[in-house]
Amino acid sequence: MTRTLFLNARLIDPKSGMDVKGGLLCEDGKILDVGAHISGADASQVVDCKGLVLAPGLIDMRVFTGEPGSEHRETLATASDAAVAGGVTTIIVMPNTDPVIDEPSLVDFIRRRAEATAKVRVHPMAALTQHLAGEVMTEIGLLKEAGAVAFTDGDRTIANTRVLRRALSYTSAFDALVVAHAEDPDLTKGAAASESEYAMRLGIPAAPAAAEVMIVERDIRLVELTGARYHFAQISTAASLEAIANAKARGLPITCGVSAHHLALNELDVGTYFTFMKVKPPLRSEADRQAMVDGVASGVIDVIVSSHDPQAADTKRQPYAQAAFGAVGLETLLPVALGLYHDGKAELAHVLKALTCTPAKLLGLASGKLEKGAPADLVLIDTDAPYVVDPSMLHSRARNTPFKGRKFQGRAVKTFVGGECVFERSGPK
């Protein structure tokens, strides 16, 4: 029996609204007690938090890995190394692997492989359609029974409206969450940027930003027909934000997320063809970026994700139009999100809510809160620590970060999973 006592902490629990100085006691991986009244207790280990923020460990709802099939990009083990360094204790992996996670045996493989190799909790989303082809839906009930926490085709939009309607009708019978990527596949085919004067000057093939809201509005109509629980994985335009806000106001079961890089970067950051800025959806205008920040602050945007998508160096060392999409982000997720707090856009607890209890609620997870009986998945955060991103110091197997040399304020100091310390920062790393 291992009992750990955390003392001298600023406890922030976005779920309950708690923000007090106090302590937390955990035993055998679960929280025994928490609050301002805890100043001492019998424990085999004592962690002096030195006044830093102790919060639920982060839950990242959008992580791509290369396992199985492309382990040279990232394995579940290396992704978990990056996660704990970023204060993330739960990662939700996408089914876009080789083979695609579209059968119960593959969901089981991911779970068993993660238990054997990863430091964090790993839950797979299963494919919504077989082979991610957008034509035939998968066995939703069996996949959910095997452990899939939601259903998605990852970074692919299902173009066939009839297939999507059937899938939504079917998933609603299981109260399963559908997570969608919103980009019109025909309008965006071959595009590498968002249409703008800047993209035109660089000569980069581009697609209109409206390609996103067109799918958002289509899918809102399908949710009206089916009543399915629907989550837009990441939006990037003010028009999409407005459409989703209106849908929420009508009481539809719709939620949405935004990636950290769409909160911090805009189309001008592409600079002179810096391919690490090539992400899907593409970086947008400064007005759209500011709308994303406002969306988090207002609560219309429910979660913030890393959209961690590691790529091999040779696929990024290409002309911009030919380079692979994707950026790593597990270690920069928290520093980017804290920028909203430091800029006065949102309270700290509000920012952490989008990274902890809200994704837990959407996915039906027991973590994401400081509550008696909950898993002791915790992160100790120094909100003022200066941080300059050095790609060579990242823990991910890939190095394609769009934040090279960027300065942030605040990062994870220690990370605990099930009460056990799985990461402790030493020195400037």
Query: Cβ neighbours of residue 276 under 8 Å, at least 6 residues apart?
Result: 316, 327, 400, 401, 402, 404
Q: Is the Cβ–Cβ distance between 262 and 284 less than 8 Å?
A: yes
Helices 104-117, 76-85: axis angle to 10 degrees equals: 60
pLDDT of residue 64: 97
pLDDT of residue 429: 42
pLDDT of residue 428: 47
pLDDT of residue 40: 75
Class of domain 56-369 (CATH, top level): alpha beta
Q: Whole-model pTM? A: 0.97
pLDDT of residue 427: 60
Q: Is the Cβ–Cβ distance between 410 and 382 less than 8 Å?
A: yes
User: What does the pLDDT profile of the chain (429 residues) look like in tens digits?
Assistant: 689 999 999 999 999 999 999 999 999 999 999 999 998 778 889 999 999 999 999 999 999 999 999 999 999 999 999 999 999 999 999 999 999 999 999 999 999 999 999 999 999 999 999 999 999 999 999 999 999 999 999 999 999 999 999 999 999 999 999 999 999 999 999 999 999 999 999 999 999 999 999 999 999 999 999 999 999 999 999 999 999 999 999 999 999 999 999 999 999 999 989 999 999 999 999 999 999 999 999 999 999 999 999 999 999 999 999 999 999 999 999 999 999 999 999 999 999 999 999 999 999 999 999 999 999 999 999 999 999 999 999 999 999 999 999 999 999 999 999 999 999 998 644
